[in-house]
């Protein structure tokens, strides 16, 4: 028995080895390597937090395409992306149909959404407070792929969505490409902080219908007093038909 364990036992304690917690970025690094990902769609990029994490933590060196409709957040995003020739940015949102939508801009821009905050959201997050509304351009991911991505059929693309309740609409807007991604990351509400949005059970069902299965789940927010999960990032990967059970 090792000395530190003997010492602990002498004091009436025991030491148990715990498994190292796997972080989202560690999991993504493995998924990207496994599926040879060479293109990431970063939908709901805000000021570039996710893409920066991919570059600095996972070591991903492939192409990133980031989408952010808010002018102030986009300006910050543009400043970061300007130093990276493989990071392309687009100043519009993605949705189920092309057009224009009104965005509720929150005190903290990461909470800005096309959907009004729920009572649970207002109680849980002070920064979700709306400070203005903004009309933004919306395109579909299908349209974007068809016009901006050459040879998409041969690419190994990963779709990340963090759109404050709008992920389902983004995914539906992928049209005929919905089942063509190597994997997806979607922020899933357990207790929706926006009104009239699908929860995690509905979202998982949608993605599974198009051939994706879960490979990881990572809590984003918990209730401070109870520990209950508010939302989590769900990572899913496409399952080839021959591999499905």
Give the pLDDT of the chain (245 residues) as one tens digit per residue: 455 455 445 555 544 444 444 699 999 999 999 999 999 999 999 999 999 999 999 999 999 999 999 999 999 999 999 999 999 999 999 999 999 999 999 999 999 999 999 998 988 888 898 889 999 999 999 999 999 999 999 999 999 999 999 999 999 999 999 999 999 999 999 999 999 999 999 999 999 999 999 999 999 999 888 899 999 999 999 987 545 44
Q: What is the pLDDT of residue 9?
A: 56
- As a three-state string, the secondary structure of the chain is CCHHHHHHHHCCCCCCCCCCCCCHHHHHHHHHHHHCCCEEEEECCCCCHHHHHHHHHHCCCCEEEEECCCHHHHHHHHHHHCCCCCEEEECCEECCCCEEEEEEEECCHHHCECCCECHHHHHHCHHHCEEEEEEEEEECHHHHHHHHCCCHHHCCEEEEECCCCCHHHHHHCCHHHCCCCCEEEEEEECCCCECCCCCHHHHHHHHHHCCEEEEEEEEEEECCCCCCEEEEEEEEEECCHHHCC
Q: What is the structure's pLDDT at 19?
A: 42
**pLDDT for the residue numbered 38:** 98
Contact 168, 90 (CB under 8 A): no
Residue ranges and CATH numbers for the domains of the chain are: 23-102+138-186+197-243 (3.40.50.150)
> If 0-12 CB within 10 Å is exposed, 13-18 middle and 19+ buried, where does residue 87 land?
buried
């Amino acid at each position: 028995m090792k000395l530190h364990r003997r010492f602990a036992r002498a004091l009436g304690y025991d030491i148990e080895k715990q498994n190292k917690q796997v972080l989202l970025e560690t999991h993504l690094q493995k998924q990207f390597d496994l599926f040879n990902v060479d293109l990431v769609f970063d939908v709901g990029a805000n000021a570039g937090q996710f893409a920066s994490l991919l570059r600095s933590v996972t070591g991903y060196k492939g192409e990133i395409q980031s989408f952010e409709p808010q002018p102030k957040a986009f300006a910050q995003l543009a400043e970061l992306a300007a130093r990276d020739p493989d990071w392309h940015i687009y100043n519009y949102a993605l949705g189920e149909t092309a057009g224009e939508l009104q965005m509720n801009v929150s005190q903290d821009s990461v909470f800005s959404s096309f959907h009004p905050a729920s009572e649970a959201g207002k109680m849980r997050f002070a920064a979700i407070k709306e400070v203005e509304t903004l009309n933004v351009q919306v395109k579909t991911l299908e349209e974007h792929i068809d016009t901006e991505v050459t040879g998409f059929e041969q690419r190994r693309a990963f779709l990340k969505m963090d759109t404050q309740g709008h992920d389902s609409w983004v995914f539906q807007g992928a049209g005929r490409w919905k089942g063509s991604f190597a994997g997806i990351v979607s922020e899933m509400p357990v207790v929706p902080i926006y009104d009239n949005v699908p929860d995690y059970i509905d979202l998982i069902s949608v993605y599974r219908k198009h051939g994706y299965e879960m490979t990881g789940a990572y809590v984003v927010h918990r209730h401070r007093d109870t520990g209950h999960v508010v939302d989590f990032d769900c990572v899913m990967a496409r399952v080839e038909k021959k591999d499905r059970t």
